[in-house]
Structure 1
Amino acid sequence: MTVALLVGGLLLLAALGVPLVFAIMASSIVTILVTRPGLPLEVVAQTFVGGIDSSVLLAILFFFLAGELMNCSGITRRIVEFSATLVGHIRGGLGQVNVLSSLLFSGISGSAIADTAAVGTVMIPAMKERGYSAGFAAALTQTSSIVGPIIPPSVPMIIYAILAEQSVGELFVAGIVPGFCIAAALMFTVYIISRKRGYERAEKRAGISEITSGGARASAALMMPIIIVGGILGGVMTATEAGAVAVLYAVVIGLFVYRELTPKLIWHSMLRAAKGASTVLVILGASSLFAWLVADQQINKAVAEVVLSISTEPVMVLVLITLVGLLVGMLMDPLAALIILVPVFLPVTAEVGIDPVHFGLVIVLTLMIGLCTPPVGYLIYLSAIIAKTRPEVVVRESMPFILCLVIVLGLCLFFPQLSLTLPEMFGYRG
């Protein structure tokens, strides 16, 4: 009964086109009225506010703002130019540049959507001019952008850290190796497809002087991830403080080094960052009410019993959770899905001995793949608009790249050390 009201109501409202936040809130309130009729509705507001009452969440706003400021400063262009000197000579050159640019930009934005918008507006038109199909360019851009929430800084990792009461810094570090694995797999796939379709190399091999000069032009931008991750790993800054420092650094670089940042651009960056952060926080607040009901009605215990009745082997449990995550990620906003699924499945993983950091990396990557898959797939529509092509063309061209993402997900699932080795090296584990 409770599951039908809560989950069924949410899915029905979402299918009818009700905005996700209102769908979550409505299904939660109806469930409270039916299952807990004497409960004062003030608990709705209290739980909503309590879900976003955390200083750690300020890091989300800071990282959004830092990414916006760096993008307005011409950072994307410099990263693309530097990437071209490194990999532009490889078969499928502009495709390789696309992937490497996304990898480097992900260390600034922490958002797949921001990565697609920033890199896509530069790379997709350039790839089309060089003879790449619009669908291929859009498909590669959207799938390579998935590395954004995996490489630190990462907005989903911050949210998971709060939900699971884990170290933000440890989760940031856990995503580094899987992020590079995603980039390597995508670049290999670009090479294979480019040979088959006859896509030529974009550039001649750059010399040492060209690489050095390109690196020098992009060096100020590439220092931001070092400041963020280095500050957290060194114990000098918390994630929130690192975000604030990143904003200050972005302003200084934009005003005095690149000299492309203006007061008007700063103002518009603040507005876009506020809009992006508020969207995340509203979803987080609404989903906190949903998660509270899951615990209150002991839905998580019921789910645990079902999962453990199938298998108690840690790997099989994680496989089952991943399959559910892939399905949910296709139908729901990844951040909302993260907030809803973690309270349900985290106790299950704890019971069978799955490391919470390993689980965090796997569930975040699982849900991020949903950004590239229909029917919701925000990145499909965003990249299609930039490429001026149909979404179904982007979906068709994305299949080899999504297969790459699923393979890397499988490797992370079956080989925990891909995500746990660096945290051990940096002393997060005893």
Structure 2
Amino acid sequence: MTLLVLLGTMIGLSLLGVHLVFAILLSSTLALLIYRDYIPLEIIAQLFLSGIDNFLLLAVGFFFLAGELMNRGGVTRRIVEFAEACVGHIRGGLGHVNVASSVFFSGISGSAVADTAAIGSVMVPAMEKAGFSRGFAAAVTQSSSVIGPIIPPSIPMIVYAVLAQQSVGKMFLAGVLPGLLVALCLMVMVYVVALRRGYPAGRWQGVGAILRAGASALVALATPVIIVGGILGGVMTATEAGAVAVAYAFVIGKFWFRELTWAGCGEALVAAAKGSATVLVIVGASSVFAWIVADLKVSTTAAELIFSISRDPFWVLVMAMIFVLLIGLFMDPLAGLVVTVPVLLPVMQDIGVDPIHFGVLIVLNLMIGLTTPPVGYLIYLSAYIAKESPEVVIRESLPFLAALFAALILCLCFPALVLTLPQLYSGG
């Protein structure tokens, strides 16, 4: 009964448009009222504060700020120019440039929303001018933005690492090959659609153009190397790496590219504060939710239910991914992490599924939910940028959804795609 109140109230309030953090807190409060005879409501404030009282979560704010500074410092344009020089000559030209730009930009932002806003504002008008439909341009933009939280640095990976008590460095490494696989699947689909519709390809600019554009973008593309290398080398913690990324973003934007203004710095600080606050209040509220889920022993009940169907690790993982997919259709990825990780992770550990493998699968699965109705807000953001209706964007996104699910299935069936780099790092 308590679990039904908890989940039903939260999902219902979310569908009614109540802000996620309030939906979680209100549903948790109602659930605790059922326990009122022996659990004081003061525990809500205690759990909320303890949830965000984590040094590692400072990295979220730093990575938000680094991405905002780079976006205002001329980095996005140079990344797009480099991507165009590399892949613009393939059939579907600017569609491939869109995907490749998301790959490069993902090493800076760590956020799908930031990726959509930054790349979309540049690529959608350019694609429309080149003869691509606005719906197609928006669909490619929102689908490729899924790469942002997969390739490091990644804000959802940090949140999962906190929830599952895993290494941030290993989670970052585990996302590299799946992120590139997602990009490859999307580029194949762009080529197929472009071939069928007769979309144009750009001209081959030559190796010299690639080298020139690469040299201009090199200082920006070095960001993920500095972040991940510093963490894995034991030189920096994830939080310290975030602070270094902010300093690096400021220096290259202000003194190297000379496009970052003091006004832009102020705008970046405000935007980063809003983004960080959104993430942290959700994590805090979700700590209350997670405590109730643990107290109700939901993971034990879930394990019994799943194991009554099958104990084969592969099929258990498949059932878990179907459950996560359904959650992702209606919930924000961060809330989805907090709802699903406490319930499913103990089950995965019981059957021997690597928590790093499970973490990448669950993050990728929930990110796909951002591109699907009814809640997926990348649909509405990309439609707004393209000045197109969400219905058209959804229809144009169907082939790319197939590509995203293909990448997810490959990562599920072949764990080596996720675990090879973390195992090489740890010597396992």
Which band: TM-score by shorter chain? Answer: over 0.9
Secondary structure of 2:409 counterpart:
helix
Q: Please give the residue correspondences for 1:215-234 in structure 2 after superposition, counting only pairs within 5 Å.
A: 215-234=214-233
What are the equivalent positions in structure 2 for 1:305-384 lying under 5 Å apart? 305-384=304-383
- The CA distance in 2 between the partners of 1:315 and 1:334, in whole Å, is 23
1:146 and 1:311 map into 2 onto residues whose CA distance is: 31
| TM-score using structure 1 length | 0.98
Aligned twin of 2:98: 98
Q: Which amino acid aligns with 2:221?
A: L
Shift of 1:232: 1.3
Q: Which amino acid in 2 is paired with 1:229?
A: V
Paired letter, 2:109: S
Once residues 423 and 260 of structure 1 are traced to their aligned partners in structure 2, the CA distance between those partners, rounded to angstroms, is 37
2:122 paired with 1:122: yes
Give deviations 1:331-379, integer Å, cap 9, x for gaps.
Answer: 0111111111100101100111100000000000010000000000110
Aligned equivalents of 1:298, 1:425: Cα separation in 2? 36
Q: Percent identity?
A: 60
Paired letter, 1:293: I
Residue 191 (structure 2) pairs with residue 208 (structure 1): no
The root-mean-square deviation of aligned C-alpha atoms, in Å, is 0.9
Q: Matches of 1:336 and 1:106 in 2, distance apart?
A: 21
Identify the residue that residue 32 of structure 1 maps to in structure 2. Answer: 32
Q: TM-score, normalised by structure 2?
A: 0.99
Which digits, 9 at most, give the CA deviation of each residue in 1:170-227, with x for residues without a partner? 000000000000101111111111111001112x112222111111111111111111
Deviation for aligned residue 1:11? 1.6
- 2:87 equivalent to 1:56: no
Query: How far is the alpha carbon of 1:19 from its aligned partner?
Result: 1.6
Give the whole-Å Cα distance in 1 for the aligned partners of 2:353 and 2:36: 34
- CA distance, structure 1, for counterparts of residue 224 and residue 11 of structure 2: 38
Matched, 1:244 2:239: no
Alignment correspondent of 1:411 = 410
Does the 8 A contact of 2:157 with 2:172 survive in 1?
A: yes
Counterpart position of 1:185:
185
How far apart, in 2, do the equivalents of 1:377 and 1:16 lie?
A: 15
Counterpart of 1:402 in structure 2 is: 401
Task: Give every structure 1 segment of 4 or more consecutive aligned residues whose post-TM-superposition deviation is greater than 6 Å.
Answer: none
For 2:298, the equivalent position in structure 1 comes to: 299
1:19 aligns to what? 19
Q: Secondary structure at the match of 1:404?
A: helix
Task: Tell me, in whole angstroms, the C-alpha distance in 1 between the residues paired with 2:265 and 2:422.
Answer: 36
Pairwise CA distance, 1:5 = 1.1
Whether the 8 Å contact between 2:139 and 2:397 is mirrored in structure 1 is yes
Higher mean C-alpha displacement, 152-161 vs 5-14: 5-14
Which residue identity lines up with residue 300 of structure 2 in the other structure?
A: K
What is the deviation of 1:38? 2.6
Match of 2:3 in 1: 3
Letter in 1 for 2:168: V
C-alpha offsets along residues 89-124 of structure 1, whole Å, 9 cap, x if unaligned? Answer: 110100010000000000000000000000000000
Q: Distance in 1 between matches of 2:337 and 2:7?
A: 15
Correspondence 1:72 to 2:85 = no
CA distance in 2, matches of 1:156, 1:294: 20
Separation of aligned partners in 2, 1:250 and 1:288: 32
- Aligned equivalents of 2:87 and 2:97: distance in 1? 6
Q: CA deviation at 1:235?
A: 1.5
Question: Deviations along 1:138-166, whole A, 9 cap, x unmatched?
Answer: 00000000000000000000000011110
For residues 16 and 268 of structure 1, the distance between their equivalents in structure 2, rounded to whole angstroms, comes to 31
Question: In 2, distance between residues paired with 1:18 and 1:63?
Answer: 27
Deviation at 1:80, TM superposition (A): 0.4
Structure 1 partner of 2:84? 84
Cα offset, 1:41, TM superposition: 1.4
Q: d(CA) in 1 for partners of 2:16 and 2:253?
A: 44
Give distance in 2, aligned partners of 1:423 and 1:59: 20
Contact residue 15 and residue 330 of structure 2 kept, 8 A:
no
Aligned length: 428
Q: Distance in 2 between matches of 1:302 and 1:19?
A: 29
The offset of 1:8, in angstroms, is 1.2
C-alpha displacement of 1:299: 1.6
2:370 match: secondary structure: helix
**Structure 1 range deviating more: 301-310 or 78-87:** 301-310
Q: What is the one-letter code of the residue matched to 1:301? A: T
Q: 1:299-328 CA deviation, whole Å, 9 max, x = no partner? A: 221111111111111111110010011111
The whole-number CA distance in structure 2 between the counterparts of 1:50 and 1:310 is 37
Instruction: State the SS of the aligned residue for 1:150.
Output: coil
Report if aligned partners of 2:329, 2:376 keep a CA contact under 8 Å in 1: yes
For residue 300 of structure 2, give the secondary structure of its aligned residue in structure 1: helix
Which amino acid is 1:10 matched to?
M
SS at match of 1:125: helix
1:326 and 1:423 mapped to 2: Cα distance?
Answer: 25
- Residue 57 of structure 2 aligns to which amino acid in structure 1? L
Q: Which secondary structure state, in structure 1, belongs to the residue aligned with residue 222 of structure 2?
A: helix
- Per mean C-alpha deviation after superposition, the further-off stretch among 9-18 and 23-32 is 9-18
Structure 2 residue 265 is matched with structure 1 residue 266:
yes
Whole-angstrom distance in 1 between the partners of 2:182 and 2:124: 20
Deviation at 1:397, TM superposition (A): 0.4
One-letter code aligned to 1:369:
I
Question: Any stretches of 5+ residues in structure 1 without a counterpart?
Answer: none
1:157 match: 157
- CA distance 1:97–1:392, change in 2 (3 Å): same
